[in-house]
Amino acid sequence: MRAFIKRYAQAVGMDGDALLREHKSELPEDEPEAVPAEHLTRRPEKKRSSGPVAESMPKVLVALFIVFILLVIWYFYLLSTSGTMSNKKKKAAMWNTRLRLNKRKNNRKRPRKKKLQLMNRKNN
């Protein structure tokens, strides 16, 4: 308490010792014992590993984050350009689809009943 008053008096431009003598009767007589500096220190910090992996970990994380951001940008770019086909590409895609459908129709096997009916018609 006395140290605070003394420093405060010096900060405002007054004589701290004179102020303490003047108000000695108002101050408490016994000052509490000072706490040893050992108890005021912070908790000891945990030892961090300083190996090569620990040193390069932040760099690896930043690189992975950048790669992730680039992949997201690439994905949205592909998503936005996938709907914009040129007319030639659209026609080619339609032609390929028609060809595939025609091949499927030609490759279908007729059911056994129809084969038997056709054979009976030819024989009659």
The residue written with tokens 């605070």 in the block is 4
Distance of alpha carbon 55 from alpha carbon 52, whole angstroms: 5
Residue 70 CA to residue 95 CA, distance in Å, equals 36
Alpha carbon distance 57, 64 (integer Å): 11
Tens of pLDDT along the chain (124 residues) come to 677 878 888 888 888 788 778 877 777 666 556 666 666 667 667 666 677 788 889 999 999 999 999 999 999 998 888 766 566 777 777 777 777 777 666 665 555 666 667 777 766 6
How much is the pLDDT for 68? 97
Report the alpha-carbon distance of residue 103 to residue 113 in Å, rounded. Answer: 23
What distance in Å separates the CA atoms of residue 86 and residue 78, rounded to the nearest whole number? 15
* pLDDT score at 69: 97
Total-model pTM: 0.32
Distance between alpha carbon 98 and the CA centroid of its chain, in Å?
46
